[in-house]
Structure 1
Amino acid sequence: MGVVVQLSVRKRISHREVVSSENGRPVDGLVIAWFAVVIENPFPAEYVADLVTLADAVGEELGDLVGPPCVELLGAEVEAFGKAALVGIDGEVEHGSALIHNLRFGNRFRAAAGGDTLLPAAEKVGLPGQSIDVPIKHKLDATTRSHHQTVTLMIPDAPRPREIVVAAVAASGGRPLARLATFGAEVA
């Protein structure tokens, strides 16, 4: 018999931006979106050795809470993606890691985005309003340099001490005006 856990969501936050120019040059409508939920930390305040059982129990639900809404918010085909967990100060960074480094979570976002590669991630403990820089990479080929970038997200009143912000990030393309050599070209 599996663990049954009800996630407690305080709020959902969506952010979408369209980049039209960079360094005085036009950009063909790069869209970047992130969707986050602020949840009550489902892990006990005291140390517990097994975080995996609970993370498995909530992984699909949590993935569904942020992955498909992020893709929908983007409103374009996803080319790059990433994920993040920002844990309030009465929690452990490992709590956030357990939630987002879980295939039950990640596969929901990957499926919605049409991706099949590793979801780059950021996780840390922070105060309300703390920013977190989320790495994103190409959804099919993590060596596609044009898509390596970070997206900063911040929620003014989160995470509170017993909360975790869990976010999915997506982009419709790579960096504006990307022009680096292909992966490995400098050593060829």
Structure 2
Amino acid sequence: MSLVNVRKIKLDVEEVWHEGGKRLGEPLVIAVATAIVANPYAGRYEPDLLPFMSALRELGADLSLRLVAQLGGISKVQAYGKGAIVGEDGELEHGAVWHEAGGWAMRETLGGPKAIVPSAKTIGGVGSRLMVPLGHIQASYVRSHFGTCEVTVWDGPRRNEIAFALAMATGGRVHARLGGLQASEVRGLDGLR
């Protein structure tokens, strides 16, 4: 029996045309895919979480492919992030399994980008909101791509569930103008500069 039992998947897509300045010719698109999954360790301590982490890779791949399709292909993706909301009968470490599983899946789908995948996790009840950080996929210091997106599901996670989310965006903040390394200036593939 699989450790990953998905109750539902939610896909959110947001188009941002302006932030008070001039309207863009093409919007910034941010997409978030969230899966509500039964927590196999709810209500008990489990010393070995690695089997669950490994099993979640397939879910991460599925969510990643959904996001890429929604954004119009791999070449459109400039930013990413991930997050988890653990229901009340779980522990924060149950959400931390998503660091490797979700991050690996996005990197695999996107062809191996080098920058760290920003992440957030929390423990919360039904309808909890989590702001997931976004960052440029190739260089962590591209200031314009520091952003956030919201993860929320109206009926989850329940006490014995976890909401696992992946996020991708077609660019950085609309009207970003605070300097720093520009996306067009990224030369290295070390994830830093």
> What residue identity is the alignment partner of 1:54?
F
Length-normalised TM-score, structure 1: 0.87
How big is each residue's C-alpha offset from its partner over 1:7-64, in whole Å with a ceiling of 9 and x where there is no partner? 11110100111111211421231111011111101225211222123312x1321212
Question: 2:126 is matched with which residue?
Answer: 128
How big is each residue's C-alpha offset from its partner over 1:50-100, in whole Å with a ceiling of 9 and x where there is no partner? 2123312x13212123211122122251000000111111111110112x1
**Pair 44,91 (structure 1): closer, same or farther in 2 beyond 3 Å:** closer
For 1:7-156, what aligned pairs fall within 5 Å after superposition?
7-27=4-24, 28-56=26-54, 58-76=55-73, 77-98=76-97, 100-102=98-100, 104-114=101-111, 115-156=113-154
- What secondary structure, in the 3-state scheme, does the structure 2 residue paired with 1:42 have? coil
**Contact 2:42–2:161 (CA<8 Å) still a contact in 1?**
no
Question: What is the distance in 2 between the residues matched to 1:159 and 1:152?
Answer: 15
Question: What is the distance in 2 between the residues matched to 1:116 and 1:66?
Answer: 20
How many residues in Structure 1 have an aligned counterpart in Structure 2? Answer: 177
**Contact 1:117–1:140 (CA<8 Å) still a contact in 2?**
yes
Question: 1:178 is matched with which residue?
Answer: 176
**Contact 2:102–2:166 (CA<8 Å) still a contact in 1?**
no
> What residue identity is the alignment partner of 1:122?
A
- Identify, as 1 or 2, the structure richer in strand: 1
**Pair 162,44 (structure 1): closer, same or farther in 2 beyond 3 Å:** closer
Question: What is the distance in 2 between the residues matched to 1:20 and 1:48?
Answer: 46
Taking every aligned residue pair, what percent have the same amino acid on both sides?
A: 36
Question: 1:186 is matched with which residue?
Answer: none
Length-normalised TM-score, structure 2: 0.85
Alpha-carbon RMSD:
1.6
> What residue identity is the alignment partner of 1:49?
P
**Pair 44,155 (structure 1): closer, same or farther in 2 beyond 3 Å:** closer
**Pair 14,66 (structure 1): closer, same or farther in 2 beyond 3 Å:** same
**Pair 62,43 (structure 1): closer, same or farther in 2 beyond 3 Å:** farther
- What secondary structure, in the 3-state scheme, does the structure 1 residue paired with 2:37 have? strand
> What residue identity is the alignment partner of 1:89?
E
**Contact 2:82–2:165 (CA<8 Å) still a contact in 1?**
yes
> What residue identity is the alignment partner of 2:50?
V
Q: Unpaired runs of 5+ in structure 1?
A: 184-188
Q: Unpaired runs of 5+ in structure 2?
A: 182-193
Question: What is the distance in 1 between the residues matched to 2:110 and 2:176?
Answer: 22
- What secondary structure, in the 3-state scheme, does the structure 1 residue paired with 2:18 have? strand
**Contact 2:4–2:52 (CA<8 Å) still a contact in 1?**
no
